[in-house]
Amino acid sequence: MKQNIDNKQELFTGAEIFVKCLEAEGIDLVFGYPGGAVLHIYDELHKQNSVTHILVRHEQGAVHAAEGFAKSSNKPGVVLVTSGPGATNAITGIADAYMDSVPIVVFTGQVRTALIGNDAFQEVDTVGITRPCVKHNFMITDVKDMANTIKKAFYVASTGRPGPVVVDIPKDITEDKCEFVYPEKVSMRSYNPSVQINDKDIDLAVEKILKAKKPVIYAGGGVINSNASDELTKLAKYLNFPVTNTLMGLGCFPGSDPQFLQMLGMHGSYEANMAMHDCDLLIAVGARFDDRITGRLDKFSPNATVVHIDVDPSSISKNIKAHIPINGDVKDCINKIIKKTMDKKLKPMNLDSWWEQINEWRKKDSFKYIQEKDIIKPQYVVDRLYEITKGDAFITSDVGQHQMWAAQLYKFNKPKRWINSGGLGTMGFGLPSAMGVQFANPDSLVCCITGEASIQMCIQELSTCLQYGLPIKIINLNNRYMGMVRQWQEFFYEKRYAMSYMDALPDFVKLTESYGHVGYKVENPNDVDSAIIEAINKKDKLVFLDFITDPNENVFPMIATGAAHNKMILS
């Protein structure tokens, strides 16, 4: 009898299995917030040491933190929240991760299976609500599926074009017991992320590359996701092709390289947008021709042959027809092109006259600003931060003018240093994502460039930063306006500033101090450098620098919605 029992596999509760799965997956950090439906899981987390749980102050913060963690490392971010309001609070973050292809897995508690569909306390149809903003989602309805589903979730989130995966777990599943085996591999017949690259397409592209007289490489976040920055840089340097980046792609090609045309699009540089408009060969790499990039579609790059390299076939020819579509992992595709050009020592055309033209455009110096005596220009703060940190800091940002100035003026020489919300444009992203970045890079300098409106959307995370000793530097470009809204109202609504003035602002210095951090208000342009240096020197402290900046400054250049690229407003 006894022997019989010994032979039997040990049984574990769903909650125990959950924690074992994270361990087996190599996850050591989870951002979350407890509640009724996930209490069994929290109890198990409490009993062990291999998975650390970070308690945020709002579920949106947990998801943004997981995004920051994932974007600045090579690991997926993990979130754990409760059912109902826990899940709904997480949705903004999930949608954000979906738009920007960030590999995260979000575990949501759910009411007991017997109660599902009964409008039970804290019940919400999480799988239904999140369906349009996830790469995929699952509900676990049998504890025997727990390990397999979790394995699948991580696999789906981090392969192919990455994205968020939600796993909804009813409470009774975390009590039920079964054996634990973590599958070594998963296969799903309806999901095959490893695409076979078509060599014929590569040959066609190479032919165009070698004949192009006015080429441009337009590289986006897909290059960073595929860890292909080195390859892209190598190829572009060999070919002597100009490179422009999308907002998400910044850092995938060295920002201080002379071949870099800066960011393109609505607030992109004159030279980047003009080159896109006039080029004869447009090589899009891991980018998706977003409407903030293309402006007016029928006037976009009218004379170019478009080569589009992307891992997601549905991104190709979605907005702009690709003449040469290349579907595959960006890194593999670039390596194939390198083999057929550089490795064979084949030379592209002489591009002197194209570069002459580009240098002519560059003379407009379209990101320029004038720092006057009395009032701090927001661009000046970003500029000084760049110089003082030598371009080596991790920079997160919120959404608005400050985000554009950060993107324009901080030159990113390495990938995964620029962490922002591009697709969804989520105010509130900056601070919590900086927490994730700091956890992934504990010894690095992490700065959050924000505005006085955005920072208030997730300001509660200052408390999380204190609890875990995160020495983030918050660079608040305080113009007392929702600046980007004010700018649009100035240009397109005859200066009727409806609801864009930020009245009743808190004293940010006192606020930060009340959370146990350090804060300084900076009003004089002469104090900008010393404030930044002092903040950086406070290595163990979160420092909030409240820069009082010119409220009337606008982001230039600007292409109005629906205008063509060569119709930029320069000042």
Partner 1 sequence: MRHIISVLLENESGALSRVAGLFSARSFNIESLSVAPSEDPSASRMTIVTSGDDNVIEQIVKQLDKLLDVIEVSEITSNEHIEREIAFVKIENKSIDESMMEDLSKNEFLKVHKTKNNEIIIECVDSPKKINDFLRSIDKIAVKIVRSGSVGVNSN
Ligand X SMILES: Cc1ncc(C[n+]2csc(CCOP(=O)(O)OP(=O)(O)O)c2C)c(N)n1
Query: What are the residues binding partner 1 (CB under 8 A)?
Result: 127-128, 131-132, 135-137, 139, 156, 188-191, 312-314, 317-318, 321
Q: How many residues are present in the chain?
A: 571
Could you say which of partner 1, ligand X, none residue 317 binds, taking C-beta under 5 to 8 angstroms by partner kind? partner 1
Binding residue (CB under 6 A) for ligand X from 41, 54, 437, 477: 477
Binding residue (CB under 6 A) for ligand X from 158, 174, 426, 512: 426
Could you say which of partner 1, ligand X, none residue 397 binds, taking C-beta under 5 to 8 angstroms by partner kind? none
| Alpha carbon distance 479, 501 (integer Å) | 9
The residues that are catalytic are 59, 121-122, 171, 484
SS3 state of residue 549:
strand
The alpha carbon of residue 292 and the mean position of all alpha carbons in its chain are separated, in whole angstroms, by 16
From the list 68-76, 173-181, 232-240, 447-455, the region that binds ligand X by CB under 6 A is 447-455
Binding residue (CB under 6 A) for ligand X from 341, 479, 489, 512: 479
Binding residue (CB under 6 A) for ligand X from 485, 542, 543, 545: 485
Site string (530-569) toward ligand X, x via CB under 6 A = ----------------------------------------
Helix-then-strand count for the chain, H and E: 21, 20
| Alpha carbon distance 45, 54 (integer Å) | 11
Q: Judged by CB under 6 A, does residue 453 bind ligand X?
A: yes
Instruction: Give residues with Cβ within 8 angstroms of 571, minimum separation 6.
Output: 556, 557
Between 145 and 172, CB nearer to partner 1: 145
Counting other chains too, the contacts that 485-490 makes at CB distance below 8 Å and 24 or more residues apart are 485/400, 486/551, 487/401, 487/554, 487/555, 490/554
Shortest Cβ distance from residue 482 to ligand X (Å)? 3
Q: How distant, in Å, are the alpha carbons of 162, 177, 199, 253, 485 from that of 210?
A: 32, 62, 17, 21, 45
Could you say which of ligand X, partner 1, none residue 139 binds, taking C-beta under 5 to 8 angstroms by partner kind? partner 1
Q: Judged by CB under 6 A, does residue 400 bind ligand X?
A: yes
The Cβ of residue 567 has, within 10 Å, a number of other Cβ atoms equal to: 14
In the chain, the amino acid numbered 351 is: L
Could you say which of ligand X, partner 1, none residue 481 binds, taking C-beta under 5 to 8 angstroms by partner kind? ligand X
From the list 97-105, 171-179, 318-326, 452-460, the region that binds ligand X by CB under 6 A is 452-460
In the chain, the amino acid numbered 344 is: K
Could you say which of partner 1, ligand X, none residue 313 binds, taking C-beta under 5 to 8 angstroms by partner kind? partner 1
Between 306 and 477, CB nearer to ligand X: 477
DSSP assignment of 475-496, as one string?
EEEE-SB-HHHHHHHHHHSTT-
The first and second tokens of residue 159, run together, are 């392969």
Q: Which residues bind ligand X (CB under 6 A)?
A: 398-402, 425-428, 451-454, 477, 479, 481-485
